[in-house]
Structure 1
Amino acid sequence: MIADRWFRSLLGSPLGRRLLAAFLFVALSSVAVLTAAALVGTAQGLTSAQQSDRRAAAARTAEAASVAYEQAGGWTGADLTAASAIADAAGARLIVQDDTGQMVWPGRGMGPGMQSMHTGAAAVVEAPVVADGQTVGSVRLAFTTTATAGRAVAWSWVLGAAAVALFTALAAAGYVTRRLTRPLQALTGAARRFAAGEPGARAATGGPGELGELATAFDTMADDVVRADQIRRSLAADVAHELRTPLAALQAGLEELRDGLREPDTARLVALHDQTLRLGRVVQDLADLSAAESAALSLHRTDTDLAEIARTALSAHQAPLDAAGLHIDTDLTVVLPVHADPDRLHQAVTNLLANAARYCHPGDRVAVRGHRSGDLAVLEIADTGPGIPADELPHVFQRLWRGQHARSVAGSGIGLAVVRELVTAHGGTVSAASPTGGGTTITIQLPLARTAWADR
């Protein structure tokens, strides 16, 4: 029953049928060729061994006839009984002729014309009779039987081995075909279910070699597609949420002014203007994120100094930092040559400084430090602000993500995502750390430019 289901599942696949047919053709061809070669080789070997045995029997018979000739002093009165016994033991009929061709054994009086009645055997082997260095006659052994028993045994063994080899080939062909088609069937079914809208469809099957890698690659791709779809849905929801609040406030305020419920005084217009600014910031952040994600296509790289970029960004953002009541410490004395786009890196550093100004409390300190670590240029921006909870650290660079403590602060949650995209586009890395006692350190690492090696 199990074998029947196994073969039905195997033959139910077009590829399985083709593979099985190909394997069977190769197996049958191989078995047929090997069987034919074995049979031919066995037959030739048996024939060769039989001929060798017959020649040896003829030589022994000729030797016995020579002894009888020498004892009788000629063929007359020679006792050829021993020679005849040797021929009989070899399964042959003995014919002895003298040097003139006259038959001596089994009896005189038989001329050459009488020999045909003795030579109608399956094979005839001759050997000369030599006495005192002279050929005095010849013996002829007429074999009437062949080695059919040996051939029958050889045929039975060869055919038995062929049957076993054919069965083994069939079993191996079925197993290999099943091993090849099973992961493909699972992969095809998973692909169809996934395309039909089942996001959890996976091949979840192993396979030999590249087939197993293909199934694993499909499952990984499906996971990435589902994750990307979830991110897309979350992004759409987050963008809608970020835009809904200022739009709702604008709509409510404008409706109040239209219906005459509020006077268009300065305070009310300022509030509406703030909502438009917030809306503009969200749109600008989304534009910055889109530009950062495609930064690798629009980078204008040049040899520049990361420390100088940090100093320029710090100078340009000094006013907001002072307005937030923050104290700035700098350690940017080491030259950090990198091959990068200065404008993009300036944007990344500015975003980090803006985050510090937004989330730190008055009186906190912000330290901007630069140093080398091996073949990397390292820029650290550390603050003594409230810090980031440990469970939120892995998410800080996700787009539109904001922690629980940051929801009371104006912002879209895109700044750090932009920083990550810009740094990654330059082949670098960015990480965040926040000790238990508070404070946050953002670390940017970029490959040093090749010209930096001479300055070490």
Structure 2
Amino acid sequence: MRDTLLIVLFAFLGAAAAGLLGAGVLLLIRRRSVVAHLAVVAAVAVTAMLAGTLAVAQAMFLSSHDLSVVTTVVAMATVVSLATALLLGRWVVGRSKALALAARSFGDGGDFTTPEGPATAELAALSRELENTSARLAESRERERALESSRRELVAWISHDLRTPLAGLRAMSEALEDGVAADPDRYLRQIRTEVERLNDMVGDLFELSRIHAGALALSPSRISLFDLVGDALAGADALASEHGVRLVGDRVEPVPVEVDGKEMSRVLGNLLINAIRRTPADGTVAVAAERSPEGVVLSVTDGCGGIPEEDLPRVFDTGWRGTHARTPPAGAGLGLAIVRGIVEAHQGRATVRNIPGGCRFEVTLPVPVPEG
């Protein structure tokens, strides 16, 4: 028993000395290639075995012949271990370089493609994460391009819509100033109309800026959709009569919702104005409100003839107007963008889809928590 304990002690001391030496070497070369690290690890393993063997041999007073045999065996093991470690290290380094090169491609704006060939579990997991990151970056770049396109369109439309009324205001004011206006009262009424248009446009821009800045402060209260829709229909009745469009709101359930009444009135007003302007004379604009498994659905259906399928994803983008044939006489393409911003601020969503003869805008709001 005592001999066994001595063997364990001497073997441990020899191996511990080799291990400490190897740890020191690894600390010194910690910034070097993984090949060097694997070589050191293999050398430490063999050296620890050799040191332990030599210590035990000295303690047990082995013959020189036996000691040389053991040393030769350990030396051969050292050669094989180091060769294996170097081969493994070169393979891992090669896979790492291929992975780094592929990662550089999507860092420069391309897409990441996993290098071909086998890889360790860790490198394979890293490749999958890089693929996911590449996909998210591609989506982000696409959103950025779409946003930049919307901004350019918005600037173009705003410039156009500002130039026209401002030119008219200048001409009418100069005519009044020079005293050549045939009907000053008509000029004054027209000036007021144009000023109100400009004021509405500035108001839309301010509302949209608050939405984008996350500064839209809501004051929710429990109200009935029946009352909300009724007020919106009454407010849009004059515009509908002017365009010869019939408003219908006979499918409105008295469903309670927890919303900011002022902001949701703006949502309904924008949807109704959009629908009326795009519906031909003698057409119908219908409003409905009902419960659904997803929440409370408020819809506005028009007779615009439909929206091209490729334009449907952009309907709620800032500055979007669609084709020139569907461009309204006023506005800068902000109404539907404001609708989406306000609805999303209420934790809801706004969607649009084509139906026979027109399109249907839907606003889905969460069901309010029951009182009591």
**Deviations 1:392-430, CA, capped at 9 Å, x for gaps:** 433322223223322363343222221111111111122
The AA in structure 2 aligned to 1:396 is V
Amino acid at match of 2:347: G
Question: How far apart, in 1, do the equivalents of 2:214 and 2:127 lie?
Answer: 41
Q: 1:187 to 1:178 in 2, by over 3 A?
A: same
User: Which residue of 2 is the match for residue 422 of structure 1?
Assistant: 342
Query: What TM-score do you get using the length of structure 2 for normalisation?
Result: 0.73
CA distance in structure 1 between the partners assigned to 2:178 and 2:295 by the alignment? 62
1:163/1:326 CA distance change after superposition, 3 Å: closer
- 249-258 or 364-373: bigger deviation: 249-258
2:271 matches 1:359: no
What SS class does the counterpart of residue 321 from structure 1 fall into?
helix
Counterparts of 2:150 and 2:248 in 1: how far apart (Å)? 38
User: How do 1:147-162 and structure 2 match up within 5 A?
Assistant: 147=66, 150-151=69-70, 153-162=72-81
Closer, same or farther: CA 173–396 of 1 in aligned 2, 3 Å: closer
Gaps of 5+ in 1: 1-17, 52-121, 123-144, 191-200
Counterpart residue number, 1:27: 38
> Are the counterparts in 2 of residues 42 and 154 from structure 1 also a CA contact under 8 Å?
no
Which one-letter code corresponds to 1:287 in the other structure? Answer: F
CA contact (8 A) 1:307 1:332 kept: no
CA change 1:363–1:252 in 2 (3 A) is: same
The answer to which structure has the higher helix fraction is: 2
Other-structure match for 2:330: 410
How has the CA–CA distance of structure 1 residues 148 and 325 changed in structure 2, closer, same or farther, with 3 Å as cutoff?
A: closer
Matches within 5 A, 1:374-453: 374-403=293-322, 404-407=324-327, 409-436=329-356, 438-451=357-370
Counterpart of 1:147 in 2: which secondary structure?
helix
Say if 1:430 and 1:444, in contact at 8 Å, map to a contact too: yes
Q: What TM-score comes out, normalization by structure 1 length?
A: 0.61
CA distance change for structure 1 residues 173 and 384 in 2, over 3 Å: closer, same or farther?
closer
Higher relative contact order (CA 8 A, sep 6+): 2
Match of 1:298 in 2: 217
Describe how 1:38-437 pairs up with structure 2 within 5 A: 38-40=49-51, 146-147=65-66, 150-151=69-70, 153-172=72-91, 174-175=93-94, 177-178=96-97, 181-182=100-101, 185-186=104-105, 190=108, 201-202=109-110, 204=112, 206=114, 208-255=127-174, 263=182, 265-293=184-212, 297-332=216-251, 334-403=253-322, 404-407=324-327, 409-436=329-356
What CA distance in whole angstroms lies between the structure 2 residues aligned with 1:36 and 1:182? Answer: 37
CA separation of 1:205/1:228 partners in 2, compared to 1, >3 Å: closer, same or farther?
farther
Q: Are the structure 2 counterparts of residues 327 and 253 from structure 1 closer, same or farther at C-alpha, using a change threshold of 3 Å?
A: closer
CA contact (8 A) 1:393 1:432 kept: yes
SS in 2 for 1:208: helix
CA distance in 2, matches of 1:446, 1:274: 35
Give the Cα separation in 1 of the matches to 2:51 and 2:211: 78
Pairwise CA RMSD of aligned residues?
3.6
Question: Structure 1's 214 and 335: CA in aligned 2 closer, same or farther, altered over 3 A?
Answer: same
Q: For residue 338 of structure 2, what is the amino acid of its counterpart?
A: V
CA contact (8 A) 1:365 1:383 kept: yes
Q: Deviations over 1:65-113 (max 9, x none)?
A: xxxxxxxxxxxxxxxxxxxxxxxxxxxxxxxxxxxxxxxxxxxxxxxxx
Measure, in 1, the Cα distance between the counterparts of 2:129 and 2:310: 39
Rg larger for? 1
Deviations 1:112-159 (A, max 9, x none): xxxxxxxxxx6xxxxxxxxxxxxxxxxxxxxxx723663364144223
